[in-house]
Amino acid sequence: MPPAPCPFLPVPDRPLSAASINQAGRDRGPEFYFLALECAQALWLARLPAQALLLINRALSADLGGHEPVLQNWPLPYAAAAWILRHHHPDDFIGNPRRHYQHLATRMVEPRRELRTWRAWACWALACAIDPTLPADSKQLDEEGVIEPSWHDIAAHLGRLGLPGETACWQEALPLSQSVAGGRTG
């Protein structure tokens, strides 16, 4: 039985897969963003939550200025990532999202490297808050001297680099029981 659609992602009107993102070609603007969100939903509905999160990463890499009409209906997908992290079926592969986002944040490349790094840390914070039992990649932390940021640092960097209202969008996706805390947790 397929899961209920994620309420924070558009439901595609055609069959899509992870490879469907290639339909966008070299575009990384609003059309790419919307297609990435649709692909994420298609993967979620196919019970592939780890792949859905990867397409959410792709959506967060889009080159948007903050005033595109698509953002009115489909704001940056922090709530979608949190929803998938909370609602995936335990038998469906999701991997270790905390470790995934840690690696994504520490290995980011251009374009928009700094912003995309802080978006990855923002998703890392969601994963940590939703499932605090997920282990970090302690070996990477120790060997590379990576310091996990505080939620305050993430908020400050999203406020400085992100779209208008991005920090609030991310904070609204955080579990209500959490407060802005921080530092290395694992």
Whether cis (ω within 30° of 0) applies to the bond prior to 149 is no
Burial label, 161 (beta-carbon count in 10 A; 0-12, 13-18, 19+): middle
Q: What is the pLDDT of residue 1?
A: 78
Where exactly are the structural domains of the chain? 1-77+86-94, 96-186
Assign 175 a pLDDT band (cuts: 50, 70, 90): confident
Instruction: Please tell me the pTM assigned to this model.
Output: 0.92
Query: Given a cut of 70, is residue 184 above it in pLDDT?
Result: no
Share of residues in the chain with pLDDT > 70 (%): 94
Query: Given a cut of 90, is residue 131 above it in pLDDT?
Result: yes
Share of residues in the chain with pLDDT > 90 (%): 92
Q: What is the pLDDT of residue 177?
A: 37
Q: What is the pLDDT of residue 176?
A: 54
